[in-house]
Amino acid sequence: MKILITGGTGFIGRTLCHRLLDSGNELIVLSRRPEQVTKLCGESVTAISNLEDLSAEEKINAIINLSGEGIADRLWTKKRKQKLLDSRINITKQLITYVARAKQKPSVMISGSAVGYYGSNGNSEPDETTDNPGDFAQQLCKQWEAAAESVKKYGVRLCILRIGLVIGRDGGFVKRMLLPFKLGLGGRLGNGQQWMSWIHKEDLITIIETLLNASELQGNFNATAPQPVTNAEFSACLANNLHRPAIFPAPAIVLKLLLGEMSGLLLGGQKVLPERLIEQGFPFQYKSLDSALKAIL
């Protein structure tokens, strides 16, 4: 299968590229830094910096769209918000433009989103049909998904992944938490009752592979493990795996003063279950947080 990937040099994309190459696929990675692609994604990967580099005769079988600036990398200034939007929506629209001119349409597009789509929902358990108005993170996800929906008018099967917090060995949110927890300075955020819907990176990549090949599956999928935890439970589990205490909570008021609107990412939460994947009998390798953390630590 020839697969076009955006976000291929990122935390998820790098591992995904190597897995797909090992399975015998041919990859084209769109990147702003094409000179880094073969080093990060694999020697046999073709790197492009512009979708116009692809001719209309190019036979792409599938598109995986994981583009996007890190949502928690910097404070949400007006300029930063626009960059977060542009890095997701503009690339997605460019992909649709490519599909429109391609003489042979891809059979499937898998497009990223996040559980932030559901907003902060307390103890409710939204499924893939839940739709509520909300904050900037929620609107970002909604606009990203709306841009991807346009591909369906060209007969392309669309799968949207609402991805939880990704646990992996070489990056992601856990890497940012390790230093204070290793020093014994970790603890819950705010009251610790906000839900964290997480997924191990290996399971996420297996989900993507499954959707690539399952022609009967389309629509929205919650890419989360079946056992979400509260922030307090997460903090205790991480500390336990590092053999450290977790006795230094970060007060909500301090986080709000330091991070402003972005503090909602830490103090809000979503209790999201992968209902559609469970219905399909997806074989999660890492169902419990403890098993996922042990795998990377």
| Per-residue pLDDT tens over the stretch 279-288 | 999 999 999 9
**What pLDDT sits at residue 41?**
96
In CATH, the number for domain 2-296 is 3.40.50.720
pTM of this prediction? Answer: 0.94
pLDDT at 27 over 70: yes
Q: Is the pLDDT of residue 96 over 70?
A: yes
pLDDT band at 109 (very low <50, low <70, confident <90, very high): very high
* Residue 135 confidence (pLDDT): 85
Checking if the pLDDT of 231 tops 80, the result is yes
Could you tell me which residues come within 8 angstroms of residue 43 by beta carbon, excluding any fewer than 6 positions away? Answer: none
Whether residue 181 contacts residue 188, with contact meaning beta carbons closer than 8 Å, is answered with: no
Residue 210 has pLDDT above 90, yes or no: yes
Burial label, 82 (beta-carbon count in 10 A; 0-12, 13-18, 19+): exposed
Site of tokens 């291929």: 8
Mean per-residue pLDDT, 11-39: 95
For residue 105, give the nearest of 115, 113, 114, 95 by alpha carbon: 95
Average pLDDT over residues 242-262: 94
Pairing of strands 2-6, 157-163: unpaired
pLDDT in the model for residue 78: 93
Q: Give the model's pLDDT for residue 193.
A: 96
- Side-chain-side CA neighbours of 212 within 13 Å: the count stands at 22
**What integer is the mean pLDDT of 192-202?**
97
Classify burial at 193, counting beta carbons within 10 Å of its beta carbon; exposed 0-12, middle 13-18, buried 19 or more. Answer: middle
Structure tokens at 33: 């830094």
Q: How far apart are CA 6 and CA 13, in angstroms?
A: 8
Q: What is the per-residue pLDDT across 114-171, written as a single tens digit (0 to 9) for each?
A: 999 998 866 667 667 666 656 899 999 999 999 999 999 999 999 999 999 999 988 8
Q: Long-range contacts made by residues 51-60, C-beta under 8 angstroms, separation at least 24?
A: 51/94, 51/95, 51/97, 51/98, 54/4, 54/28, 54/98, 54/102, 56/101, 56/102, 56/103, 57/103, 58/102, 59/2, 59/104, 60/2, 60/3, 60/4, 60/28, 60/102, 60/104, 60/106
pLDDT over threshold 80, residue 63? yes
* Range with the poorest average pLDDT among 131-135, 230-234, 266-270: 131-135
